[in-house]
Amino acid sequence: MPAEMERLGRSKDRPKPKSGIVHLGLGAFFRAFGAIYIDDAVRVSGGDWGIVGVSLQSPGTRDKLAPQDFVYTTVSQDPDGGETFRRIEILETVLVAPEDPDAVLARMTDPAIRIVTLTVTEKGYCHDPASGRLNFSHPDIEHDLTHAKPRTAIGYLVRALQRRRDAGDPPFTVLTCDNLPENGKLVRGVVLDFARALDPELAGWIETEGRFPSTMVDRITPATKPEDVERLAQKIGIRDEAPVLCEPFRQWVVEDDFVPAYDGAEAYPDLAAAGVEMVADVTPFEHMKLRMLNGTHSSLAYLGYLAGHETIAETVADPVFAGFAKRLWQEEIMPSFSPPEGVNLADYADALFKRYSNPAIRHRTWQIAMDGSQKLPQRILGTIADNLAAGRASPGLMLAVAAWMRYVGGVDEKGQSIEVKDPLAGRLRGLSDAAETPAEKVAALLSVREIFSAELAAQLLEPVTHAYQELCRLGARRAAEDIT
């Protein structure tokens, strides 16, 4: 790449937006998703809806974006190899929280900020995935309750809301964009748990004044690799060090429940004009998406990884796993819940299969396999529990749970070690290693109460042990073939 190639920057005719949103956890997903909708809303209807991005951990994204004035490109990848580029100028700046927590709190406290959006991943809510309540023994929560400079997203939300209440200002709306069931209710619950421990009166104020709309978010965004950066530079002739890749499809469903407008500005950007479905109840959409998409994504990730497949597209190009995914949808997942009104689930499943098959999207099974302890309950275990209650068998999902257990055991089918990324990785590996037989390993992992309730664990013991034994006996591919 010639050193003199021009670096991406802000368009002369587009002044920097004034910000109305702080986003916590600025990863690729939000830059390829929420930011796009907000950019569209501003293009159509205007408003001061620029975004202050906040990285809660490392400076990497800020360091790449700052020299290009926080402008970046989205690369939407078609199945035939075509790519559509779009320049996004909606970010005002990016703050790195650990460098200066007060700067983040100051922006969140500014009444011009009406919404705080979040993509902090499942583990960022510091909750117990099985109960949905705040985990008070989480070291960062213990820290945040006793120190004014927070480390966690929850700490930032509550401390900033506290400052706004003290200043006599309205709260901001908390808009979570993470893949969790009833995500608005969940974040409200953990915020209130934290606030009650800090200052019960503050908790009362948040309870009456605060708004936490639930959302269903959907766009597949594989991690950007160095070769993607090079390819983009060659294609557009401008250097962007921080592009984000995504599939063409996107869907955002948002509960219409925001802090009312104040000071003469709108309560939220014109999301409807940008194609967001504004609804009274997001729950049926969330169940559908978490069970149909994320449930099969995780199942294919563990089984596909064990079978040696690098990406989801490669996994479903294998007819065994294509059949397995279709079986999961038709026999095990679709019967477990009621779809949103007017949605045909068979069409939804067909569309998912096409999305997974997009060969341009190199979404690694390893990436999706990450943080399974935080994902399993809402993606797979809820479906299994509903099937059990209705007397329906779930052999495919039992196999997926067993595959997760094999995966967190840390050794693949060829005896190679797996780099397991999970907040409980050490504990899960220890439990698996300390047990000898498949039955003992399954029992040990089912005893992790953050993931499996005692009741569900008792019901899973026999079928998951059977599935685990089949995995050891046949390997992931043949075990999946056997039940398809």
Stretch that binds ligand CS2, among 72-80, 187-195, 218-226, 464-472 (CB under 6 A): 218-226
What is the closest distance, in whole angstroms, from the C-beta atom of residue 359 to ligand CS2 in the complex? Answer: 16
What is the closest distance, in whole angstroms, from the C-beta atom of residue 245 to ligand CS2 in the complex? Answer: 12
Q: Does residue 22 bind ligand CS2 (CB under 6 A)? A: no
Name 129's Cβ contacts closer than 8 Å, sequence gap at least 6. Answer: 122, 373, 374, 376, 377, 378, 450, 451
Q: Does residue 71 bind ligand CS2 (CB under 6 A)? A: no
Q: Does residue 180 bind ligand CS2 (CB under 6 A)? A: no
Q: Does residue 244 bind ligand CS2 (CB under 6 A)? A: no
- Whether residue 122 contacts residue 374, with contact meaning beta carbons closer than 8 Å, is answered with yes
What is the closest distance, in whole angstroms, from the C-beta atom of residue 372 to ligand CS2 in the complex? Answer: 9
Q: In the bound complex, which residue of the shown chain has the CB atom lying closest to ligand CS2?
A: 297
Strand partners, 328: none
Q: Does residue 297 bind ligand CS2 (CB under 6 A)? A: yes
Q: Does residue 36 bind ligand CS2 (CB under 6 A)? A: no
> Which lies closer to ligand CS2 via its Cβ, residue 193 or residue 218?
218
> How many other CB atoms are found less than 10 A from the CB of residue 22?
26
Stretch that binds ligand CS2, among 290-298, 388-396, 436-444, 458-466 (CB under 6 A): 290-298
Q: Does residue 294 bind ligand CS2 (CB under 6 A)? A: yes
What is the closest distance, in whole angstroms, from the C-beta atom of residue 253 to ligand CS2 in the complex? Answer: 12
Q: Does residue 179 bind ligand CS2 (CB under 6 A)? A: yes
Q: Per-residue contact track with ligand CS2, 122 to 161, x per CB under 6 A?
A: ----------------------------------------
What is the closest distance, in whole angstroms, from the C-beta atom of residue 375 to ligand CS2 in the complex? Answer: 6
Among 138, 165, 219, 309, binds ligand CS2 (CB under 6 A): 219
Q: Does residue 292 bind ligand CS2 (CB under 6 A)? A: no
Among 110, 218, 255, 286, binds ligand CS2 (CB under 6 A): 218
What is the closest distance, in whole angstroms, from the C-beta atom of residue 219 to ligand CS2 in the complex? Answer: 5
Of 9, 98, 108, 12, nearest in space to 52 by CA = 108
> Which lies closer to ligand CS2 via its Cβ, residue 123 or residue 151?
123
Among 28, 187, 203, 220, binds ligand CS2 (CB under 6 A): 220
Contact residues toward ligand CS2 (CB under 6 A) are 179, 218-220, 293-294, 297, 367-368
